[in-house]
Homo-oligomer: A and B are copies of this chain.
Amino acid sequence: MAPQRPYHHGNLKSALLAAALELIREVGPAAFTLREVARRAGISHNAPYRHFREKDELLAAVATTGFERLAKQLARPGTIPPHVRKPALLRFHASGVAYVQFALKSPEHFLVMFDWPLEADRYPELATSATCAFSVLVGLVQAAQREGSLPGGDPHGIACIAWSLVHGVAKLAIAKKLPFQSMVEVLSFTKRAIEALQGGLSRGAPWKN
């Protein structure tokens, strides 16, 4: 007889997440609906509730994997020539470019991570993964401070400034508010912005304590 496989088995949760990413990429987080995800996964519109308490829990899962992937990209930002003199500073710069690159390559993650109002306290894994990603950046700042290529002082403050810069670039680039067409143009602009900030940071004036 016909389809003798009415139930999904085991992989439904990841199938839902994959379908969600695809849908968010197509229509954005605002127009994303749970029922359309279920349709694409070939299940009834309330089967997702077996795996996610509510729509936002699915989106929180998307954001969490986004932060995990971002943390990896920041920690291993492309190839660094192994013989350079001050690799920590280079890795710090490269992590900024990696941040923007992540946002442009995975806007479906990035927009949920930052533009969707998820109550972080309701999704502890999300808060953890976000903190973890930020601590990668702080670690890079500290390493650069140790080798003397960034001034002393609170590494969190410097990390927050650098984060703000690349976050602004990423957000405005995704929204196509910046006058660049291609990703290489945006990344080249990102490099210039980071170098500009670096020039000011290394003069090190306002970083008391």
| A residues lining the B interface (CB < 8 Å) | 28, 30-31, 114-117, 130, 156-157, 160-161, 163-169, 171-172, 175, 177-179, 189, 192-193, 195-203, 205-207
Contacts and interface: CB of A to CB of B under 8 A. Distances in A.
Nearest to A29: B30
A197 B197 contact: yes
A83 B119 CA distance: 48
A14 to B, nearest CB: 26
A193 B179 contact: no
A163 B156 contact: no
Given A115-B115, A116-B30, A169-B168, A157 B192 contact: yes
Nearest to A161: B193
Contacts of A167: 168, 171-172
Given A167-B168, A172-B167, A196 B192 contact: no
Contacts of A28: 117
A181 to B, nearest CB: 14
Q: Do most interface residues of chain A lie in helix, strand or loop, or is the interface mixed?
A: helix
A200 B191 CA distance: 13
B196 A200 contact: yes
B201 A196 contact: yes
A196 B189 contact: no
A159 B165 CA distance: 13
Given A165-B193, A165-B197, 18 more contacts: A30-B117, A31-B117, A114-B175, A156-B179, A160-B178, A160-B189, A161-B189, A161-B193, A164-B178, A165-B165, A167-B172, A192-B206, A195-B200, A196-B197, A196-B206, A199-B199, A199-B201, A200-B202
A172 B161 contact: no
Nearest to A27: B117
Contacts of A164: 165, 168-169, 172, 178, 193
